[in-house]
C-alpha cells in the first residue's frame, strides 16, 4: 500500500510541543503525512491525540516546533493567513457537531454561505444534494439531525466536513460509540473519501483492527511522543511493549473472546 504513494508529505511536523500550564502534552512530535494517504493516530486515552490534531490544524498554537502544510509553515503564519489556509482542512469530530436547530441541508449549506459566501440558492442546493447522495443518504436534507440515527449523524458530519472540498480531512474517533456494522460503514466512507475524492485522511481511532486494515501509515502516540510509526506491518513489528500490548489485546485476546488487559497498559 505504502509503496505506490508519493513520498512528498502534505503535512509535516517538527519537534512539536504543546503544554497547558506545567502539563506538557506534546513532546517533540515529528511526523510526515504522505499526500493522498490514510494516516491513523492511535494511543491510549489522554495521551495527546486530539491536542495533536488541533495543533496541526491551527486551532491550538504550539509552544515550540513547526507545522507545514505542503511548503507553507503554518506555525509562522499570522492569524488571518492561518485562517485562510485552514479552509484546506476539514474535520469531523466525534459528536458530529451538527446544529440540531437546523435541517441537514441547512447544516451543510452553512459553511458554503458563511465561508465561501455563496449566494446562489440553486447551486447550494445542488451541491448539498450531490453530497448527500455521495454519502448514500439521499433525501434526508429536510430532516433535523436529532431525528437521525447515530450512524447517519456521523455520515452527515463527514459530509459537512467535505462540503468545502478540503485537501485534508481530519477524523477524531469517527467510529467511537457505533456498533461494529456501523463502524464498518464509516471506515468504508474514509476509504472512499481517499479513493474517490483523492483527499488525504488523518484519523484518530481506538478501532485498532480498522487502523491496521485501512491505514497506509500508523503513528502510535504515548504521553505526547510517537513511540512507533510506519506502515501497519512496520508498526506491528515494533518491539515497544505498549505497542505490542495494544496489538495483542486488539487482535488476539479480543478475538479469543476474553480480554486480559496486560500490566503494561496499567489497567
Ligand X SMILES: Nc1ncnc2c1ncn2[C@@H]1O[C@H](COP(=O)(O)OP(=O)(O)OP(=O)(O)O)[C@@H](O)[C@H]1O
Asked if 177 interacts with ligand X (CB under 6 A), we say no
- What is the distance between the alpha carbons of residues 260 and 267, in angstroms, rounded to a whole number? 9
Q: Which is nearer to ligand X, 37 or 47 (CB)?
A: 47
Q: Which is nearer to Mg ion, 148 or 208 (CB)?
A: 208
Q: What x/- string results for residues 87 through 126 when contact with ligand X is judged by CB under 6 A?
A: ----------------------------------------
Q: Which is nearer to ligand X, 49 or 154 (CB)?
A: 49
Take residue 101 and report the three cell numbers written for it.
Answer: 436547530
Q: Which residues contact 59 (CB under 8 A, 6 or more apart)?
A: none
Minimum CB–partner distance for residue 3 and Mg ion (Å): 31
Binds 175: which of ligand X, Mg ion, none (CB < 5-8 Å by kind)? none
Binds 48: which of ligand X, Mg ion, none (CB < 5-8 Å by kind)? ligand X
Q: Which is nearer to ligand X, 107 or 187 (CB)?
A: 187
Q: What x/- string results for residues 17 through 46 when contact with ligand X is judged by CB under 6 A?
A: ---x----x-----------------x-xx
- Which of these ranges, 49-57, 110-118, 132-140, 255-263, lies near Mg ion under the rule CB under 5 A? 49-57
Dump the DSSP string for 179-247. -HHHHHHHHHHHHHHHHHH--EEEEE-S-HHHHHHH-SEEEEEETTEEEEEESHHHHHT---HHHHHHH
What Å distances lie between residue 41 and 76, 80, 99, 173, 189, CA to CA?
25, 29, 28, 10, 18
- What is the distance between the alpha carbons of residues 225 and 229, in angstroms, rounded to a whole number? 11
Binds 112: which of ligand X, Mg ion, none (CB < 5-8 Å by kind)? none
Contact 64, 26 (CB under 8 A): no
Q: Which is nearer to ligand X, 26 or 137 (CB)?
A: 26
Asked if 153 interacts with ligand X (CB under 6 A), we say no
**Count of C-beta atoms within a 10 Å radius of residue 60:** 17
Take residue 93 and report the three cell numbers written for it.
Answer: 469530530
Binds 25: which of Mg ion, ligand X, none (CB < 5-8 Å by kind)? ligand X
Q: Which is nearer to Mg ion, 69 or 170 (CB)?
A: 170
Q: Which is nearer to ligand X, 50 or 200 (CB)?
A: 50
Residues in the chain: 267
DSSP letter at 175 equals T
Q: How many CA atoms lie within 13 A of 165 on its CB side?
A: 7
Take residue 18 and report the three cell numbers written for it.
Answer: 504543546
Minimum CB–partner distance for residue 46 and ligand X (Å): 5
Minimum CB–partner distance for residue 157 and Mg ion (Å): 15
Q: Which residues contribute to the site for Mg ion (CB under 5 A)?
A: 49-50
Q: Which residues contribute to the site for ligand X (CB under 6 A)?
A: 20, 25, 43, 45-51
Amino acid at each position: 500500500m505504502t509503496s505506490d504513494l508519493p513520498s512528498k508529505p502534505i503535512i509535516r511536523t517538527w519537534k512539536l510541543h504543546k503544554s497547558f500550564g506545567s502539563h506538557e502534552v506534546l513532546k517533540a512530535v515529528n511526523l510526515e503525512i504522505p499526500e493522498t494517504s490514510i494516516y491513523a493516530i492511535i494511543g491510549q486515552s489522554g495521551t495527546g491525540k486530539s491536542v495533536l490534531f488541533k495543533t496541526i490544524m491551527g486551532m491550538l498554537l504550539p509552544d515550540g516546533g513547526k507545522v507545514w502544510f505542503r511548503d507553507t509553515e503554518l506555525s509562522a503564519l499570522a492569524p488571518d493567513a492561518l485562517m485562510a489556509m485552514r479552509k484546506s482542512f476539514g474535520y469531523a469530530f466525534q459528536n458530529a457537531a451538527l446544529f440540531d436547530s437546523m435541517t441537514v441541508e441547512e447544516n451543510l449549506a452553512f459553511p458554503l454561505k458563511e465561508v465561501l459566501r455563496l449566494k446562489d440558492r440553486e447551486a447550494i442546493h445542488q451541491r448539498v444534494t450531490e453530497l448527500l447522495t455521495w454519502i448514500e443518504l439521499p433525501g434526508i436534507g429536510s430532516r433535523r439531525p436529532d431525528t437521525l440515527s447515530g450512524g447517519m449523524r456521523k455520515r452527515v458530519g463527514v459530509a459537512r466536513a467535505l462540503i468545502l472540498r478540503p485537501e485534508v480531512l481530519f477524523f477524531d474517533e469517527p467510529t467511537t460509540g457505533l456498533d461494529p456494522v456501523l463502524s464498518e460503514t464509516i471506515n468504508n466512507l474514509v476509504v472512499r473519501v481517499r479513493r474517490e475524492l483523492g483527499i488525504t485522511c488523518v484519523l484518530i481511532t481506538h478501532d485498532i483492527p480498522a487502523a491496521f486494515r485501512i491505514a497506509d501509515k500508523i503513528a502510535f502516540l504515548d504521553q505526547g511522543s510517537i513511540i512507533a510509526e510506519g506502515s501497519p506491518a512496520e508498526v506491528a513489528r515494533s518491539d515497544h511493549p505498549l505497542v505490542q500490548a495494544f496489538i495483542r489485546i486488539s487482535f488476539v485476546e479480543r478475538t479469543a473472546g476474553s480480554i486480559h488487559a496486560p500490566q503494561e497498559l496499567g489497567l
